[in-house]
Amino acid sequence: HVAQIEAANHSYHTLDAPEISDADYDALKRRLAALEARFPDLARADSPTTKIGAAVAEGFAKVAHEIRMLSLENAFLDADVADFDGRMRSYLGLGPEVALPCTAEPKIDGLSLSLRYENGLLVQAATRGDGALGENVTENARTIADIPQHLTGAPAVLEVRGEVYMSHADFAALNARQAERGEKSFANPRNAAAGSLRQLDARITASRPLKFFAYSWGVLSEPLSDTQFGAIERLKALGFQTNPLTRLCADTAEMLAQYRAIEAQRATLGYDIDGVVYKLNDLALQARLGFRATTPRWAIAHKFPAELAWTRLEKIEIQVGRTGALSPVARLAPVTVGGVVVSNATLHNEDYIAGLSSKGEVIRDGKDIREGDWVQVYRAGDVIPKVADVDLLRRDPASQPFVFPHLCPECGSEALREEGDAVRRCTGGLICPAQAVEKLKHFVSRAAFDIEGLGAKQ
């Protein structure tokens, strides 16, 4: 009865897909209560009869991590990685003749999660929180396809740790869906993943495209392996997704080579990473090295350089959108930003070019943006690159401030800016070829035909 009721609870509350009728559910629960009244010694402490309705909607219960969830020390330079190797050697009293192989894997930009399995069954999922105390998100984690609900051949107690993340494609589709429904969109895939996992209603989490990579472990009733690489392979064999770019490297040179290889693939991976994690492969040596306050001595995160670059702004062009909005775009001398060649960046609107925010506040210390300027380009994850700063020392003294057009560059109609609107708009309507084409494109797009979007849209 207990198992049947729990299964019914799960399909009803978590999956939003009831498998038995309400009447059958109530009958089951009454029969269980009657049995418990007759044989109180057999009643389970966690019986569904002791619980009231759905989970309480008052934040998440806290979970104490038996083994703290760690963060990683950062490295930025190749020399920092060589130092990491040197520090481990001196701590262990090992000379340069001994090899210290390490694993190298992409550092996923998501949020960490600890999954506890007992006798192969997923019994708890907890966020990292402050490392010592996390949030109980078990029901939400059960809705993630990459997270197995049961394992075969696993240690009796196994805590698997890893990263919950969202792919670029899923993030873009989610944001489009959110916009269509008039709901808030997310700034980046990391925020979208965190917001989706930390939902009090697991049915919302279930509707979000979350993924999971396993890369570590907490409490274990027996070791997974005697090496880091072996442990990851074991997690993979148990049914977890592990990052396919994980490699075992013989020395610092191979670690740096894998760093370059991962960096080169960064833009085409389809999900955000912010560096490469190296871990000493030998788990006995890991144990000897131990921890500082919050970070292990046997691991380090080699971060990618900031996604900023300087280049010349060759031209400012104005694009006209479906609604007639005039959007300024910077045409740039091509430059690599975070592993991607960028030759266009958004300038947002007229005020942004002039050095004002959409609320009229001074930005960039009031520096305006001009054609011919040297500009700093900023790119974060999937977001459209933007011009973040201007180098006044390299500005041509003969240059002039950009004059934002008051006529539509496509049809010549007047372009007006309404009081309180950051955007200037072409008044040409369907006379304007740009608006006509963009409207037609929108009309034939899936978004415009999405029945669910009707009413919410326009």
Least distance (Å) between residue 128 CB and ligand JCF? 9
Does residue 163 interact with ligand JCF by CB under 6 A? yes
R_g over Cα of the chain: 28
Q: Where are the alpha helices (DSSP H) in 10-55?
A: 22-38
Cβ-based nearer residue to ligand JCF, 128 or 424: 128
Are 368 and 173 a contacting pair, CB within 8 Å?
Answer: no
Cβ-based nearer residue to ligand JCF, 47 or 246: 246
Least distance (Å) between residue 214 CB and ligand JCF? 9
Burial 181-219 (b: 16+ CB within 10 A, else e): eeeeebebbbebbbbbbebbbbbebbebbbbbbbbbbbe
Distances (CA, A) of 60 to 104, 166, 176, 201, 358: 34, 22, 28, 11, 37
The binder of ligand JCF chosen from 5, 8, 55, 70 (CB under 6 A): 70
Cβ-based nearer residue to ligand JCF, 215 or 229: 215
Interface of this chain with ligand JCF, residues 215 to 244, rule: CB under 6 A: 215-216
Give yes or no: 107 in active site.
yes
Catalytic residue among 107, 211, 279, 439: 107
Interface of this chain with ligand JCF, residues 319 to 358, rule: CB under 6 A: none
Site string for ligand JCF, 175-214 (x = CB under 6 A): ----------------------------------------
Distance from C-alpha of 132 to C-alpha of 123, rounded to nearest angstrom: 19
Distance from C-alpha of 401 to C-alpha of 220, rounded to nearest angstrom: 65
Distances (CA, A) of 345 to 172, 268, 334, 348, 388: 19, 20, 11, 9, 10
Cβ-based nearer residue to ligand JCF, 163 or 373: 163
Near ligand JCF by CB under 6 A, which window of 35-43, 100-108, 230-238, 370-378? Answer: 100-108
Least distance (Å) between residue 340 CB and ligand JCF? 20
Least distance (Å) between residue 103 CB and ligand JCF? 8
Are 389 and 375 a contacting pair, CB within 8 Å?
Answer: yes
Does residue 174 interact with ligand JCF by CB under 6 A? no
Interface of this chain with ligand JCF, residues 102 to 121, rule: CB under 6 A: 105, 107-108
Cβ-based nearer residue to ligand JCF, 72 or 235: 72
The binder of ligand JCF chosen from 113, 166, 299, 434 (CB under 6 A): 299
Assign 308 to helix, strand or coil.
strand
The two structure tokens encoding residue 131: 């490392």
Instruction: Provide the angle, in degrees to the nearest 10, between the axes of the packed helices 252-265 and 78-92.
Output: 140
Are 209 and 166 a contacting pair, CB within 8 Å?
Answer: yes
Give the footprint of ligand JCF on this chain (CB under 6 A): 70, 72, 105, 107-108, 163, 215-216, 277, 296, 299
Which of the residues are catalytic? 107
